[in-house]
Amino acid sequence: MIIMMLGAQGTGKGTVAGLISKETNWPQISTGDIFRKNISEKTELGIEADKYISKGNLVPDKITVPMVQNRLKQEDAQEGAILDGFPRTIAQAEKLDEILAEEGKKVDLVINLVTPREEIIDRMITRRVCTNSDCKTTYNTKMHPTKVEGICDICGAPVKQRADDSDPEAIRKRLEIYEEKTSPLVEYYKNKGVLRTEEISISINRMGKEVAEDILKDIKNK
């Protein structure tokens, strides 16, 4: 089963995807995590990707698409996978359809998360992530802080703010890019009959855990 997470940055895609991954054992394939790993290791891919990410721009398809295609071919993704951060444009979605069709697969479910913009900005500025690549637990200094400041509750590794979460203006630019290039995917997958929209917001007291639990019930029924 191929699941795709859709929604602007900061809506909780990673949290929901992580909870589903834990219960199903399907890998959470995050293009952002792959890029950040390569950037920190200063690989050729990381250096090239950082030219775009540091400015709040999308990484070109010529870099992103082959990376995702190779990841989907790995053994742990054969029974199912959760795509987080890809596709981000209609062109990428069409290419993904081609890639999956070659393997006799398709996108089975698209989870579209929506959150008020100002809440997104505040959530991203206060977001902290475990630096252990095998953990990557996400925290928030306001809503879900670590028990010990700066230390992951799960594995004890340092918890830090991502570089691309520290600048409110860069965050606003990323949201503008999302609205321009990525939000049309909502209509694309709605027309395919696989879209499921969920609101995550403090204002309605509905967060990622509750959404993930509801989705897991439906996945098990299917």
Amino acid letter, residue 28: Q
Q: What's 201's DSSP letter?
A: B
Out of 71, 88, 95, 128, the active site residue is 88
84 and 13 Cβ atoms separated by less than 8 Å: yes
* 196 part of the active site: no
115 and 200 Cβ atoms separated by less than 8 Å: yes
Q: Judging by beta carbons within 10 Å of its beta carbon (0-12, 13-18, 19+), is residue 18 exposed, middle or buried?
A: buried
Question: Which segments of the chain does DSSP mark as H helices, in order?
Answer: 13-24, 31-40, 44-53, 61-72, 90-102, 117-125, 168-177, 184-191, 208-221
Out of 36, 71, 95, 127, the active site residue is 127
Out of 13, 36, 123, 136, the active site residue is 13
Backbone angles phi, psi at 150, to 5 degrees: 80, 5
142 and 126 Cβ atoms separated by less than 8 Å: yes
2 and 100 Cβ atoms separated by less than 8 Å: yes
Contacts of 149 (CB under 8 A, 6+ apart): none
* Per-residue tokens: 102: 């070659």
* 88 part of the active site: yes
Residues annotated catalytic, as ranges? 13, 88, 127, 162, 174
